[in-house]
Structure 1
């Protein structure tokens, strides 16, 4: 048997102990870094992620320049995954497709031929069917790449070279935007108008110390390929551009088309960026079927090349603006497009930056590219001038040169010695063709020499003057601005700015819910349901075992319900969201955040404008306006402060100007309502004093009409103002035993 060989670094048994936490941290960090740097975040200089940069580089090498013949996308994808991007072919093709979609890219980088998908959300055809070439925008991004404008690095298999970044003569990061999710960070940059970005960049070059406010004057907001209307406030937009974080509320563009006799249609012609029309249409259809859009009678999609979504109102009296507001609230016809300008600065540092920093990074990169291209051109000129100087010497002494070449054993050395030429010059002379010995050629050489000398002086001057460099960059940016000016079809601004119209909340509630009568039924154990219509006879209703009817009242689907709990909180339910009348309904506890130890006291319909007397078991209470009781969340609104074992026990809508209170000790007290304070929240004041027990019932009434109650036989009793004199006192008095005939359960009924 041979000797057992152990792995390096291992113990006797060949196993190396590694701390799991350290191993995971090391590996996950490596994964996170590769995702951030090599996949998800764009470079601030050219606005591209590695996959897009590699696609454009591969297309350049395939000579797919603008105006040339198209080539199959399969060839492009094959080159990209074979040479530069060792990932799945579908992911590369998806990236290529997105670069060609005019509804996804504000300025497409790829000119596609064939089915490249559509705004409905349909996918592109397979890459064996589609063809592509670069657009003028892509050509601008690559301009000067063969002139040492940027660094190159080895590809993953070290067989080829690929650019680290593109020269980026076009402001691609902001113009086309970018979305990406990395590890622990994400980026979301909406598209902008290229002419506006160029204006802002020119302003930054002219005024390096300018503020973001100055730049926002040139870049008022995004410019989406799908158009739409931005309704975000100016202050919010400016803050977003300053910090690099924020968002833009964007709405669909719509107009009203009159169809005669006072009738009309609403037509949507542009939808928010990033919304798939197919999914949007499905959602609207679902909402109409579910009666969530009661103002709309009919809806159809009449889109062809352009978007045309047609909405028919229920009647001619429907306000078109209100109808659209209901659509904005429930569908993606209004969408918030986020801004999270998280980009790679200097190609390696992920940072969230503002508008000024992003523009600074781009113009600084343009300066680097200008200097590199200038030095590259200068080296080329110097090499050519050296050759030209040698050729001119040869022309002046052509006979001698020919003689040396014909007779010398080593003509190369002989020429160097005779005319003091360099190696490069001699090679050029020896490679000269006989046909170029014409007299005219000497004139051409001298002309070329003069022109190149002049160009060299200009480049040397440029390299030595920073002011001249910035002037040249400004000229280049102005050229791009003119190429994509707002007068051109591609450069024209598509997204405009507007303000959201304010609508009455009551009208909005009706616009979102079909108004229908309902009967609300609440059981003793807190189960709620809504019967259709106003049902008078509830005797046939069934309840769960050991449960029975507690509260019932008529309302409408547009109504709000106020739920009072023993902990002093008030919760709000929507009439339209109550479970139907079939079965026992659902427990109210599932709809609100109510602790198990607390119970429901009362459920009432909210009507607004009324006042409510709330009272606790200990006999404390106060008056609260009904409008202050509406809660916007499941957590409810704390109205009455009660400390255990005290609890909210009664709520009464105020009628009249007097209060009648009866305690569990069967003492009745009547006093003026104005002795009870009106508050929005609090513990309240003492209504009646008890030695033992607490409050049994409370009622408000008009003294002139007398105090009424119902006995166990459902008969109504009334005690007039004169007969009540011995019970009338002040708040917090003890009271006296009630009049004859008052129910034994101490309730007013």
Structure 2
């Protein structure tokens, strides 16, 4: 009688340990088996398994189509133990030419549209592989990659595909794992091949030199990429950044001086129907005062017609208002976080990604060469046995007819191996012709020559890289030309800033913008508003009042270092409570507004973080009328933006929480448009408490606005930017500075 010793066994474990262990296992599974692509073939497991399953079903580009339901069934039944809906969605995306730059699946039936329409059910659609997918699989049966058991142990699947096609950069990737994500835009394969061959010729090539031949993304939907080259180089060097995409448009002239704008390409991953809905909603809310109408005249190609309110409006001004308020201008993030050959995730530069693909192709070439060499050696051994037989055919026939153990007798008589004897015994009688002997000698000579070449390939690394270069050139010729290979996206320098305020029909009047402690904002006519007369919701109170004009733009600077722009004319009016500021700008609940001020193109601001780093920024450079704002002050982990004050003067006063003060000339601070800034004051412990800019001649009204401190009061505090400073006088510690 057997006893189950584990029954009733209880092991005490801390809940935090149990949760950590299980969540870590889930996180690693998500990272490695679902969300991040492999740097070598650019595929996630579901895509790799799908392509391999379609190859096993013989769905080659020249074969007939099969139902997608059959493909999905094989994938989830043999390789990918997940739901059929998710697998079919992945299949559909690989077939959409507006979603994938070089489709891996050729679909037949309804596979969705750029309008956002869903694909038909898998029982109605059919699919087969494209030539691009065939290139990814090339050599998979020649021991070029490792295989592993499937989830149930009944089949085997490739760990990675041979990937003769540079799929990761060509088609890009996107995914969200646990604690990390990836976002890689598609690129032009002809340019990728040029960059790869350049890297083979000159391994010390820099990112900037690679970008000379591979200038940036190439999106399936075209559009124009407007980004500074320095920003593009920095993004590809670090593996993180973003690209600004704008719709492609032109002006069509009509009768009697009328005109209309025609949009023929929209940014990548923007749904056309959703875009039209958003524009229509903004027109209804009167937030696009220059636009008269929008029509969709698209057929196969995109054609959106935009009509102005009046023909006196400049087309550039109209489009600028649309770019600022609608997805006609969008950003695509770059985060080249991928799994390496060792299955370790990491953010890689463009050069690292290209080198990883080239190293993979080098490994594939070595494995294929060794596999072919083994096959050639085996065949040569058999041919040597055949030639020995043809010299003594009569003796061979006698042995086979008379000897009891023909195998052993043949091995002894002609010094043959077991492989050779097996081949001789299996030879058909009609192969004993004289002509057949001639063919065998020709094959033997050809294989001997091939063997010499294979040995040279294994022995000389330079020859291998030359062979890889020829393979890349073949891929470039096949996929980098014609309609499929032609570049679709245009790269251009950022356009000059356009002041649209003058074109907007807004009456100029004095306004006072009121912001409450809980983030409610409204505008009241006139200046000199009595703060005591303002009413707020229960538990709320006044934070600040900003006097401006209705034609002004207001800048909100937040603790996450972002700047947001509001139009004073768009703010709610009247005696009500206004509206939450977070409905207008995308600001998380963890962040807060530091200050609010009207933008003046002639003024500058001092921005500083809690770590004591700061810089000078022109107010005009802080303008960003997207809801997501503009990252002006970059921050490190655990830091927050703390100071945004006018930079009108010639000296800076800084004080830290360690009660040390420093005064230094303003000219020691750089003027930047975006960045981490430089050290204002060093802290062994503590953080920046306050900073203010003042003119030496007038002194500083700080911390008490009613009391001005002259340079004589501050002479002991003078120093250089980045110094520790001196102990602050008692008057500097009495009260905090009031909001500007």
Residue 501 (structure 2) aligns with: 509
1:577 aligns with 2:566: no
Tell me how far apart the structure 2 counterparts of residues 605 and 43 of structure 1 sit (CA, whole Å): 49
Residue 322 (structure 1) aligns with: 317
Larger CA deviation: 94-103 vs 407-416: 407-416
Q: Which runs of 5+ in 2 are unaligned?
A: 527-533, 538-546, 557-563, 586-595, 604-618, 630-640, 654-696, 709-740
* TM-fit CA distance, 1:504: 4.3
DSSP-derived class of the 2:483 partner: coil
Tell me how far apart the structure 1 counterparts of residues 253 and 52 of structure 2 sit (CA, whole Å): 52
DSSP-derived class of the 2:377 partner: helix
Tell me how far apart the structure 2 counterparts of residues 606 and 60 of structure 1 sit (CA, whole Å): 61
1:282 aligns with 2:277: yes
Asked whether the 8 Å contact 2:276–2:294 carries over to 1, the reply is no
Q: 1:447 to 1:518 in 2, by over 3 A?
A: same
Match of 2:232 among 234, 237, 259: 237
Tell me how far apart the structure 1 counterparts of residues 264 and 228 of structure 2 sit (CA, whole Å): 23
Residue 163 (structure 2) aligns with: 168
Tell me how far apart the structure 2 counterparts of residues 145 and 605 of structure 1 sit (CA, whole Å): 63
Q: 1:5 to 1:300 in 2, by over 3 A?
A: same
Residue 228 (structure 1) aligns with: 223
Tell me how far apart the structure 1 counterparts of residues 110 and 139 of structure 2 sit (CA, whole Å): 32
DSSP-derived class of the 2:213 partner: coil
Asked whether the 8 Å contact 1:55–1:96 carries over to 2, the reply is yes
1:270 aligns with 2:303: no
Residue 475 (structure 2) aligns with: 480
Q: TM-score, structure 1 length as denominator?
A: 0.73
Asked whether the 8 Å contact 2:513–2:548 carries over to 1, the reply is no
* TM-fit CA distance, 1:576: 2.8
Tell me how far apart the structure 2 counterparts of residues 180 and 269 of structure 1 sit (CA, whole Å): 29
Asked whether the 8 Å contact 1:374–1:459 carries over to 2, the reply is yes
Tell me how far apart the structure 1 counterparts of residues 353 and 601 of structure 2 sit (CA, whole Å): 52
Query: Which structure 2 residues correspond to residues 175-214 of structure 1 after superposition, within 5 A?
Result: 175-214=170-209
1:430 aligns with 2:422: no
Tell me how far apart the structure 1 counterparts of residues 411 and 521 of structure 2 sit (CA, whole Å): 108
DSSP-derived class of the 1:200 partner: helix
Tell me how far apart the structure 1 counterparts of residues 254 and 416 of structure 2 sit (CA, whole Å): 89
Residue 699 (structure 1) aligns with: none
Residue 678 (structure 2) aligns with: none
1:94 aligns with 2:82: no
Residue 255 (structure 2) aligns with: 260
1:385 aligns with 2:385: no
Tell me how far apart the structure 1 counterparts of residues 50 and 101 of structure 2 sit (CA, whole Å): 18
Match of 1:34 among 19, 29, 32: 29
Q: Deviations over 1:425-480 (max 9, x none)?
A: 11111111122222211111110010001000100111001111111111111111
Tell me how far apart the structure 1 counterparts of residues 354 and 513 of structure 2 sit (CA, whole Å): 63
Q: Deviations over 1:88-107 (max 9, x none)?
A: 10111111111111111111
Q: 1:188 to 1:419 in 2, by over 3 A?
A: same
* TM-fit CA distance, 1:399: 2.1
* TM-fit CA distance, 1:557: 5.7
DSSP-derived class of the 1:7 partner: coil
Q: Deviations over 1:43-73 (max 9, x none)?
A: 1010111100000100110011112111111
Tell me how far apart the structure 1 counterparts of residues 204 and 63 of structure 2 sit (CA, whole Å): 44
Residue 367 (structure 1) aligns with: 362
Q: 1:51 to 1:307 in 2, by over 3 A?
A: same
Residue 670 (structure 1) aligns with: none
Asked whether the 8 Å contact 1:517–1:555 carries over to 2, the reply is no
Tell me how far apart the structure 1 counterparts of residues 699 and 301 of structure 2 sit (CA, whole Å): 57
* TM-fit CA distance, 1:15: 3.1
Q: Which protein shows a greater Rg?
A: 1
Residue 719 (structure 2) aligns with: none
Q: 1:573 to 1:401 in 2, by over 3 A?
A: closer
Residue 717 (structure 1) aligns with: none
Q: 1:101 to 1:519 in 2, by over 3 A?
A: same
Residue 73 (structure 2) aligns with: 78
Tell me how far apart the structure 2 counterparts of residues 396 and 114 of structure 1 sit (CA, whole Å): 63
Residue 588 (structure 2) aligns with: none
Q: TM-score, structure 2 length as denominator?
A: 0.73
Tell me how far apart the structure 1 counterparts of residues 61 and 497 of structure 2 sit (CA, whole Å): 50
Tell me how far apart the structure 2 counterparts of residues 589 and 75 of structure 1 sit (CA, whole Å): 52
Residue 292 (structure 1) aligns with: 287
Tell me how far apart the structure 1 counterparts of residues 523 and 152 of structure 2 sit (CA, whole Å): 69
1:57 aligns with 2:52: yes
Asked whether the 8 Å contact 1:64–1:71 carries over to 2, the reply is yes
DSSP-derived class of the 1:490 partner: helix
* TM-fit CA distance, 1:481: 1.3
Q: 1:681 to 1:404 in 2, by over 3 A?
A: farther
Asked whether the 8 Å contact 2:572–2:579 carries over to 1, the reply is no
Asked whether the 8 Å contact 1:560–1:605 carries over to 2, the reply is yes
* TM-fit CA distance, 1:322: 0.8
Tell me how far apart the structure 2 counterparts of residues 559 and 238 of structure 1 sit (CA, whole Å): 35
Tell me the matched-pair count: 594
Residue 6 (structure 2) aligns with: 7
Residue 300 (structure 2) aligns with: 305
DSSP-derived class of the 1:297 partner: strand
Residue 446 (structure 2) aligns with: 451
DSSP-derived class of the 2:85 partner: helix
1:397 aligns with 2:398: no
Tell me how far apart the structure 1 counterparts of residues 373 and 185 of structure 2 sit (CA, whole Å): 40
Tell me how far apart the structure 1 counterparts of residues 555 and 493 of structure 2 sit (CA, whole Å): 34
Q: 1:481 to 1:605 in 2, by over 3 A?
A: closer
DSSP-derived class of the 1:261 partner: helix
Tell me how far apart the structure 1 counterparts of residues 91 and 67 of structure 2 sit (CA, whole Å): 12
Q: 1:70 to 1:679 in 2, by over 3 A?
A: farther
Question: Cα RMSD over matched residues?
Answer: 3.8
Q: 1:259 to 1:428 in 2, by over 3 A?
A: same
Residue 44 (structure 1) aligns with: 39
Match of 2:491 among 489, 497, 518: 497
Tell me how far apart the structure 1 counterparts of residues 700 and 67 of structure 2 sit (CA, whole Å): 72
* TM-fit CA distance, 1:278: 1.6
Tell me how far apart the structure 2 counterparts of residues 605 and 196 of structure 1 sit (CA, whole Å): 46
Residue 415 (structure 1) aligns with: 410
Residue 469 (structure 1) aligns with: 464
Tell me how far apart the structure 2 counterparts of residues 579 and 131 of structure 1 sit (CA, whole Å): 54
Tell me how far apart the structure 2 counterparts of residues 231 and 608 of structure 1 sit (CA, whole Å): 23
Asked whether the 8 Å contact 1:514–1:557 carries over to 2, the reply is no
Residue 694 (structure 2) aligns with: none
Q: Deviations over 1:333-369 (max 9, x none)?
A: 1111111000111141101010111111111110100
DSSP-derived class of the 1:147 partner: coil
* TM-fit CA distance, 1:680: 11
Q: Deviations over 1:141-163 (max 9, x none)?
A: 00000000000000000100000
Asked whether the 8 Å contact 2:521–2:580 carries over to 1, the reply is no
* TM-fit CA distance, 1:260: 2.7
Q: 1:387 to 1:68 in 2, by over 3 A?
A: same
Larger CA deviation: 340-349 vs 80-89: 340-349
Tell me how far apart the structure 2 counterparts of residues 77 and 448 of structure 1 sit (CA, whole Å): 44
DSSP-derived class of the 1:145 partner: coil
Q: 1:607 to 1:501 in 2, by over 3 A?
A: closer
